[in-house]
Structure 1
């Protein structure tokens, strides 16, 4: 009896569904479900996770310092910043794959249950506050460690730290705000794209592409920027606490606007009605 070539008809329906890409409504359902799980976490759990993210994202800063110091003498300044875009994603990969809570990644995600009327806006602000405090606290600790250990190891000096900090602070606050909006937009998209990624390799690639764009364009990220500017604050007489606070507040507001308006709100309005469960 001759055998016939297998066709898609021979594949069980559930298997074909598993292999099919997720629809917009399925991604939205998954995002809302993931966000609701975060709302159920305790305050201490969120603080610890976000503190861990603040520490881990610091490896991007350390690598930027190392690369800047290495290429500074033989490469133009503009080229150095583009080279840094290749190492900028490292900290983000550690944070995202390690499931730590980063403010800019969570901004749009945590807004979805509020839009969906499954959570209150007061709870959203509570979570945002916890994540920001944890991220900034972790960033300050890794900043202090980096500023101490870099010169001790001879991989970069304080002049490199100051140079990076001044580069971040160079634009005026309006430019930083708009830049931060774009960075928050991209980070919100990162969360959305990761939900539709089904393997570790694809997730790493998505993280690398999104964050390398942020690094190459020089967009302002409030959590990495916190480490960069705070490091300058403790090493340079030219950078004041007012410079640090002005930058930090502006970058946080910009990142939040980008994630909420251009990702959470638009994605929700565009795709919520595709699903009968949302």
Structure 2
């Protein structure tokens, strides 16, 4: 009897939540520049997440693979900048300068509507929190997105370590230096760093929903990803390109280094996006529903 009452109460609560979300639609008739309410942003994020679940596996895989390729342009610029300033500036200064080119790939991916795991982490969790999708379906979708991102990134890494030196843009020492910098921390440090990066990427997805024009969206991407670059927070998809390129081009980077980094970074990014953005933002809305 108690179980039935709990289930009835849970269903009633869910109906109230869904009703509130349906009422939180984007304002029209000239009100698009008005400040967006929490419920409006949550409803938009929820609908976008549900739309991704509705796409075919082939479409999801291709969009994810494309994102993995496109994010590689950040790595291309990073290696080029690193090589250009090597011998002219101190190495730690050069790493800080990479902040200015790091956002490029993210701009291409996000504005181009490709599927990047860290941007989609919190977004795809919302339909599960709203009881419209199961945890199993979420894990399957995450797996597909991650596989596409990693495959595209690995292919781009292999291409860049050939074309970069061939064009005289950078040498393989720059690739080794960047990869070594990424994996130079303990797994515990990489995990916490990746959680913070996942938090920022989930927050970026949330903030972009409140942006009203392309310029604002680009500035938000630059700010969030610039923070990640300047503070050396670990991003699993960019890091995949960085470390895999190092693995292919330098004996100092081992397969063990790559696998440990990638698994820890993916876990941290997922925790950051789900717990600190999706769960907290969703629960903040739910607490206002009777």
TM-score (norm 2): 0.89
What is the match of residue 181 of structure 2? 167
Aligned to 1:36: 50
Alignment-derived partner of residue 5 in structure 1 = none
Is residue 202 of structure 2 the alignment partner of residue 225 of structure 1?
Answer: no
1:51 matched to 2:65? The reply is yes
Q: Does residue 206 of structure 2 align to residue 192 of structure 1?
A: yes
Residue in 2 that maps onto 1:260: 274
1:136 match: 150
Residue aligning to 1:79: 93
Mark the runs of 5 or more structure 1 residues left unpaired by the alignment. 1-12
Partner in structure 1 of residue 116 of structure 2: 102
| Aligned mate of 1:213, from 217, 227, 231 | 227
User: Within 2, Cα distance between the matches of 1:132 and 1:15?
Assistant: 39
What secondary structure is seen at the aligned counterpart in 1 of 2:237?
helix
Asked if 1 retains the 8 angstrom alpha-carbon contact of 2:32 and 2:212, the reply is: no
Partners of 1:50 and 1:102 within 8 A in 2: yes
Offset at residue 16 of structure 1 (A): 5.3
Q: CA deviation at 1:272?
A: 3.3
Task: Compute the displacement of 1:67 (Å).
Answer: 0.4
Number of aligned pairs?
264
Q: 8 Å contact 2:72–2:157 — kept in the other structure?
A: yes
| Moved segments of 4+, more than 6 Å | none
Question: Are the structure 2 counterparts of residues 159 and 116 from structure 1 closer, same or farther at C-alpha, using a change threshold of 3 Å?
Answer: same
The separation in 1 between residues aligned to 2:252 and 2:121, in whole angstroms, is 32
The answer to whether the 8 A contact 2:33-2:212 is kept is no
- Which residue is equivalent to 1:25? 39
**Gapped runs of 5+ residues in structure 2?**
1-26
Q: Distance in 1 between matches of 2:116 and 2:63?
A: 9
Contact between 1:181 and 1:254, CA under 8 Å: does it hold in 2?
A: yes
Q: Deviations over 1:106-138 (max 9, x none)?
A: 000000010000111111001100000000000
Out of 240, 247, 256, the position equivalent to 2:261 is 247
2: CA distance between counterparts of 1:93 and 1:37? Answer: 22
Give yes or no for contact 1:25–1:275 (8 Å, CA) kept in 2: no
Structure 1 distance, partners of 2:28, 2:39, is 18
Q: TM-score, normalised by structure 1?
A: 0.93
Secondary structure class of the residue paired with 1:48: helix
Structure 1: how far apart are the matches of 2:238 and 2:30?
Answer: 41
